[in-house]
Amino acid sequence: MNNKYPVLILALASLLCSQAQASIWTEIDDAGDTPYTAQVTTGSGELNSIYGSSGVDMYKIKLNGGPFSASVKNGSLFLFDSIGHALIGHENNISASFQSGYYFLAGVPIELEPYGYSGGTFVALFPMYCGSASSGCNHYPLAGAAHLVIDSWGGTFTPSSNGGLSYPIQLSGASFAVQTSIVPLPNAIWLFGTAFTATGWISRKRKSNVLMNG
């Protein structure tokens, strides 16, 4: 048997396994900045990385329950519940335990912060400004703002060495919001069967040609 056929089969197996274990979400066009416009992550299994372009980007993810972490080199991360209530923010490294369920993760430039809308007024969900020139910031919303839903983002973004949002966002304890099977098992079996059948047919054909030409 020609040595290239086992290599072909191994390459096919490697491709199927790598697709089944895909753990990266790449931003499509421009992710929205509120739960109503957030990009819904779709894939198979765990979600370990999110890649995108700088800006205010929000993604719908699923937390597995228990320890969860999200980190980014530059910028701020904010986590909201399935309704849009702020849970934790102004962090470039979120590390806490949460119940299993759907959440919204936003990555934003460090100068920006989320606002809710109440009684005709926009209210800062995290009332202290947190930026490159700030001495500190609130990582949890105050009780008076905890019931508000994220409506928009405020602040002035000025690109700087530590102000912009960088990618990727690294995650642990999270999964895709919508689970899909990239290569369904029956299809995978069919592909392997086809590969082995083709290999056997080619091998028999080569032997037949040798005997006929011998």
Q: Which is nearest to 74 in space by CA: 112, 35, 45? A: 112
Are 54 and 165 in contact by the 8 Å Cβ rule? The answer is: yes
Q: Span 166-170, mean pLDDT?
A: 93
- Taking phi first (over 0 means left), then psi (-120 to 50 degrees means alpha), and beta for anything else, what does residue 62 get? beta
Cβ contacts of 76 within 8 Å, gap of 6 or more: 89, 90, 91, 92, 107, 108, 109, 110, 112, 130, 165
Secondary structure of residue 208 in the 3-state scheme: helix
What one-character-per-residue DSSP string does 45-59 give?
SB--EEE--SS-EEE
- What single-letter DSSP state applies at residue 168? P
Whole-number average pLDDT of the chain: 78
Using 50, 70 and 90 to split pLDDT, how confident is the model at 185?
very low
Tens of pLDDT, residue by residue over 197-214, are 444 544 554 545 544 555
Out of 26-40, 41-55, 87-101, 136-150, pick the least confident: 136-150
Q: What is the DSSP letter of 102?
A: E
Alpha-carbon span 82 to 177, nearest angstrom: 11
pLDDT of residue 10: 41
Residue type, position 12, single letter: L
- Residue 134: pLDDT band (50, 70, 90) is low
Q: What is the dihedral of CA 109, 39, 32, 140, to 10 degrees?
A: -50
pLDDT at residue 98 above 80? Answer: yes
Other C-beta atoms within 10 Å of 91: how many?
18
Query: pLDDT, tens digit, for every residue of 142-166?
Result: 878 889 999 999 875 555 545 678 8
Q: Nearest CA to 151 among 58, 84, 59?
A: 84
34: which residues sit within 8 A by CB, 6+ positions away? 58, 84, 150, 151, 152
**Residue given tokens 């029956």 in the structure block:** 186
d(CA 24, CA 50): 6
| Cα distance between residue 65 and residue 174, in whole Å | 8
Which of 51-55, 57-61, 90-94 shows the highest mean pLDDT?
A: 57-61
Residue 136 confidence (pLDDT) above 50? yes
